[in-house]
Structure 1
Amino acid sequence: MERKELFAYIAEHYQVNPEYLWKKNPNYAVLRHRHNRKWFAIVMDVEAEKLGLKGTQLEEIIDLKLEPELIEILQQSEGYLPAYHMNKQHWISIQLKKVAPEQILKLLEMSYELTK
């Protein structure tokens, strides 16, 4: 799934636009609820080796908050990694290019609901 496509979906379905909070990481985009300001997703491009993968190329990921039991199950499949820079029990990193868009959007909805 492309970042642009993901952000268009989020804007249409949740009326939320990405926020870019860090000068050091200008491509890191936070998505949060308008009413309580809680994050429900963060999209980042991170060096593969920082994610426990081989290589130094940038991997585009989305971190989502999910139930710990689901995280445990998902991490057994390709494209799902321990959360980068978030609580690994409650958050998961998903490689945008390796997981089907329908699955990402389904998990995005779960994250949105969990953080309401």
Structure 2
Amino acid sequence: MNKDRLIAWIQKTYNVEPEYLWRKYPNYAVFRHGHNGKWFALVMDVEKSKLGLAGTGKVDILDVKEDPGLIIEMVKHSGFYPAYHMNKENWISVALDGTIDDDKIASMVKTSYALTSK
């Protein structure tokens, strides 16, 4: 799932609009609950080096909250990284470059939404 499709899917599924909070980072889209204001997803484009990837340029990623026990295993696989800009124990970054299938990304957003809704 690419960034644009993901943003459209989140808007439709959760009836929320992305918030662009930082002038310095105009492509960073935050999604939060209407009832408690908590973030459940963050879509960004970051330098590959920030994720420990080789090469130059940026990559689109999604940050979501996940079960800490699962994060430990997930980051061992391609397309998953310790969370960029978030608590690495409770959040994970997911590449939006086709490495991870759409159903898995959607499932992770659903999990994050549930974990942050309390």
Q: What TM-score does the superposition give when structure 2 sets the normalisation length? A: 0.95
Q: Does 1:83 align with 2:118?
A: no
Structure 1 residue 41 displacement after superposition? 0.7
Q: Letter of the aligned partner of 2:55 in structure 1?
A: G
**1:39-50 mapped onto 2 (5 Å cutoff):** 39-50=39-50
Whole-angstrom distance in 1 between the partners of 2:49 and 2:8: 29
The runs of 5 or more residues in structure 2 that have no matched partner are none
Whole-angstrom distance in 1 between the partners of 2:35 and 2:108: 21
Matched with 2:100 is 99
Structure 1 residue 49 displacement after superposition? 0.5
Whole-angstrom distance in 2 between the partners of 1:22 and 1:8: 20
Root-mean-square deviation over aligned CA pairs: 0.7
Structure 1 residue 8 displacement after superposition? 1.5
Structure 1 residue 85 displacement after superposition? 0.8
Q: What TM-score does the superposition give when structure 1 sets the normalisation length? A: 0.97
Structure 1 residue 95 displacement after superposition? 0.2
Matched with 2:23 is 23
Secondary structure of residue in 2 paired with 1:112: helix
Runs in 1 of length 4+ with deviation above 4 angstroms? none
Q: Letter of the aligned partner of 2:96 in structure 1?
A: L
Structure 1 residue 61 displacement after superposition? 0.2
Q: Deviations over 1:30-52 (max 9, x none)?
A: 01001111000100000000111
Paired-residue identity, %: 51
Structure 1 residue 27 displacement after superposition? 0.3
